[in-house]
A and B are shown apart, each in its own frame.
Chain A
């Protein structure tokens, strides 16, 4: 068992090093995320999609449709569902204890983008 421990631990650090080296030496793949022609939605449009089954949110000026993703979100539903139909940038940037989401989440976010949020009219 001792040998197994040593070999798995070494393999782990070898792979961690490979991930690090890969990020340094290999060019990142082109951002393949196809951004659809930007469509603009108003806050009223946003508010019409305020249920877990039909859940849009606005984050950092973009509008996202999270209806399909919501069941996969790691936190419990009552943390994320109240943000359906709303501007949720602050919640996204300061999830529990004020932490921003991870780069992985940022990447995931792009997959659900459907357009941008119309700017508020100057008063």
Chain B
């Protein structure tokens, strides 16, 4: 990643935070009250940055170092904003505490106040409940997604709290930007306005609970390279009814005239339904995102795929002969889960730079250190990992023990939650 891209998100957050804080920097007030004002504005700026970082626009994602990085920062800024906004009313009340504790409580308590303070409290409580929901993984993704987007309402209420306090000069532009970011996300991305129409050409079951779907563009094709993923929503076909919500799928093949293939593993209600998809189903495709296999160095490489994690590597070897000496270590539970095995073997047979090692690991967690090549054999290697988060974490640890530095370990551990 270039230095500029590396700095892009921190600089963006700094600008969003420092701007309003500088504008509102208090003078001559008590320390606690001044701090209360500063943390309130800093929290406001962080929330605005967090809203920008939830947008799924390929160009924006490229400029900011990838969608996965944006989402990581989205989580951090959201959490930091929450903590600062919790401190905001406490510090304002704390200013009066040394001299008059009743006044301190009156400042904090919503019971003696009007709409400006009630909206502040409502916003804080919505943030509290919204974040509690965010951390709850048992909620179905569809419900979770809308509840999470509902956090945006907390941001808007918090900004209205400022407007009603009579502080509208810097708030209107912030409120305008927050509304644009939320509207952009909901209309262009959740409702699919930014996505391109595609049609399902074929669907083949390639392993137990896994189907490969071929999609043909009906208008402009999305620009995609091997290693990237797209967001796809499947709608209706002759007999199939899709769930119509966008899910990320890694591309397993990129055709010359814009067709793409995606691998879909049954991991939830929606992806389970997709297993029975049929030709003729309408879809919308948004993307592409990610730079997992982009700009690979000329050094020898180790690719490790776990289950469905084979798809980015498959897209790369389907695209042509490899330029780097590459060992593909393909891990799967049982033979029935080994998707694309015959095809990968055939490609490895004709690509002199590709060697394949396929291992059925069984249902127990395998000893990854034993599965990986010896430290001596990994010297000068760049390692690319794709699979379940637990497996990737284990592989990173095992590779570190074998002397591979983090700079030479590449992975995209993408999760939308």
Contact = CB atoms under 8 A, between A and B. Distances in A.
Which one of B82, B86, B93, B105 has the greatest number of beta carbons of chain A within 10 Å? B105
B146 interface: no
B100 interface: yes
A95 B166 contact: yes
A13 B277 CA distance: 50
A12 B90 contact: yes
A122 interface: no
A61 interface: no
Contacts of B117: 102
Contact of B90 (A2, A16, A71, A103): A16
A38 B104 CA distance: 28
B79 A5 contact: yes
Main secondary structure of the interface of B (DSSP, over half): helix
Nearest to B86: A12
Contact of A76 (B101, B109, B169): B169
Contact of B99 (A5, A32, A72, A99): A32
Interface residues of B, number: 42
B371 interface: no
Interface string A1-29: 11011001100100110011011001011
A28 B102 CA distance: 6
Interface residues of A, number: 34
A8 to B, nearest CB: 5
B108 interface: yes
Nearest to A3: B135
B105 to A, nearest CB: 3
Contacts of B115: 97, 99
Contact of B167 (A5, A22, A74, A95): A74
B135 A2 contact: yes
B34 to A, nearest CB: 10
Contacts of B107: 102-104
A109 interface: no
Interface string A72-114: 1011100100000000000000011101101110010000000
Given A74-B167, A76-B166, A103 B101 contact: no
Interface string B145-172: 0000000000000000000111111000
A68 interface: yes
Given A8-B83, A16-B90, A76-B167, 6 more contacts: A28-B100, A28-B103, A97-B164, A100-B114, A102-B112, A103-B112
